[in-house]
Amino acid sequence: MFYKAEKILLSPTYKTLVENFLSLSFLQVANYIFPLITLPYLVRVLGPEKFGLIAFSQAFIGYFQILTDYGFNLSATREISINRENKEKISEIISSVMIIKFFLLLVSLGLMSVIVFSFEKFRQGWLIYYLTFGMVLGQTLFPVWFFQGMERMKYITFLNVFAKLIFTIAIFVFVKQESNYLYVPLLNSIGFIIVGVLSLWIILKDFEINFKTPDLEEIKYHLKEGWYIFISQVSITFFNNTNVVILGIFTNNMIVGYYSAAEKLVRVIINLQVPIVSSIYPTMSRLLKEDIDKAIRFGKKVLVYGTCIYLIIILVLLVFSNKITLLLLGKSFKESEFIFKILLMLPITIFMNNIYGTQFLLNIGDSDKFSKVLIISGFLNLILCPILTYLFSYIGTSISWIIAEIFVLFGMYYFASVRIEGLKLKYILKF
């Protein structure tokens, strides 16, 4: 027994998994600490209205981040992981994906310009949208999918922490009063762009990857591979970014500020799962090809342990929600406390969605079913959110998001269960 345990602990797969988990855990600690440093400061200096305007602009620009990502964070990760020993193939993948992303970046800039100058609500604050768009450029430059596929998460950690450190320091230096609100998107974009440039330099220097002109078939292949995931991400946006946009259309920047402040606190809790789900994705991909039963047992353990940990965290947060929101947001954001309590249902639901959907369905190759669930839930949210927001303001917006995520959970569970049973039967018949 002890020999078997030692063998597992010393295996390359285990070592890589632990290293990736620790790297991403450190990143999530940074993702947890930096917002907790800047958020209390920004909400007090900017107030609900300007903070809400920034949140609205980020939600709007989020559409173009999804467009330029085009699902490559999963589809290209899988391709890099499978071909990691073939430098020639990796160079082809990187070149194809980056060309597609830059084309989508130009399309995004054009679409944003048309929308901003066609509607009064956007035209009044046109500058903030262009300053925020720098995040799209930086994200386009930063090939997270490459480092994930190579299972070198330490680079992702270093670069992201570096960007957040620049942004955090700059916020305290340059944002001193409400009139400095434009510095927030500007500084955020500068951080993203610097990290994007550094990441490409690391790929060229440390991994000896050469950019080359890909052929048309290679580009078509990656467009096709990322399509279902892209559609899924668009659907997710329907109950992330779109909810903030809808709330801003039906109410005002101050109400958006209350909602966004609570949402940001909850997202910190949701992001606690990122080290786990990002670390195990390449591992699950390999296990499902090698040993289905082993992959299923591994996935179930992650699901049970992760859910239990989240339950404990959320119960503690519910008990101390009043003190937490008062400490982090201040008296001006008292309305955010109730929103915070409602949205605390989301971390566990999203974690379970990820295990059944991303880890199983996508890795098995059922991108179409994965997309179908998210598309339907996205449209469900798109119907519910305006109605509930109109009737109940930010409470309705919160409830709409929760209903959509619960629908996703049932859908992912159903399709994953059916597919896993089919794979187990096929595996038994094969042997």
Q: What is the pLDDT of residues 204-253, one digit of tens each?
A: 888 877 787 878 888 888 888 888 778 766 766 666 678 999 999 899 99
| Range with lowest mean pLDDT among 154-158, 189-193, 353-357, 419-423 | 419-423
Across residues 305-325, what is the average pLDDT? Answer: 93
Across residues 106-133, what is the average pLDDT? Answer: 94
Across residues 21-32, what is the average pLDDT? Answer: 69
Give pairs for 421-427: CB < 8 Å, separation 24+.
Answer: 423/288, 423/292, 423/364, 424/292, 424/293, 424/296, 427/292, 427/293
Across residues 45-59, what is the average pLDDT? Answer: 94
pLDDT for 4 beyond 60: no
Identify which has the larger pLDDT, 151 or 62: 62
Q: What is the pLDDT of residues 261-294, one digit of tens each?
A: 999 899 888 888 877 787 787 788 778 877 778 8
Q: Are 232 and 370 in contact (CB under 8 A)?
A: yes
Q: 16 is in which domain, residue-wise?
A: 2-430
Q: How confident is the model at residue 422 (pLDDT cuts 50, 70, 90)?
A: low
Q: How confident is the model at residue 425 (pLDDT cuts 50, 70, 90)?
A: very low
Across the chain, mean pLDDT equals: 85
* Crossing angle of the two packed helices 253-270 and 292-319, in degrees rounded to 10: 130
Q: Residue 390: its pLDDT value, please? A: 94
Q: What is the pLDDT of residues 68-81, one digit of tens each?
A: 988 887 788 888 88
Share above pLDDT 70 across residues of the chain, in percent, rounded to a whole number: 90
Give pairs for 330-333: CB < 8 Å, separation 24+.
Answer: 330/40, 330/43, 330/44, 332/43, 332/44, 332/47, 332/48, 333/43, 333/48, 333/257, 333/258, 333/261, 333/262
Identify which has the larger pLDDT, 7 or 20: 20
Identify which has the larger pLDDT, 430 or 136: 136
216-250 burial, b if ≥16 CB within 10 A, otherwise e? eebbebbbebbbbbbbbbbbbbbbbbbbbbbbbeb
CA gap 68, 76 in Å, rounded:
13
Nearest one of 6, 78, 13, 87 to 298, comparing CA atoms: 13
124 DSSP 8-state letter: T
**Count of structural domains, the chain:** 1
pLDDT for 11 beyond 70: no
Across residues 120-126, what is the average pLDDT? Answer: 88
SS3 79: helix
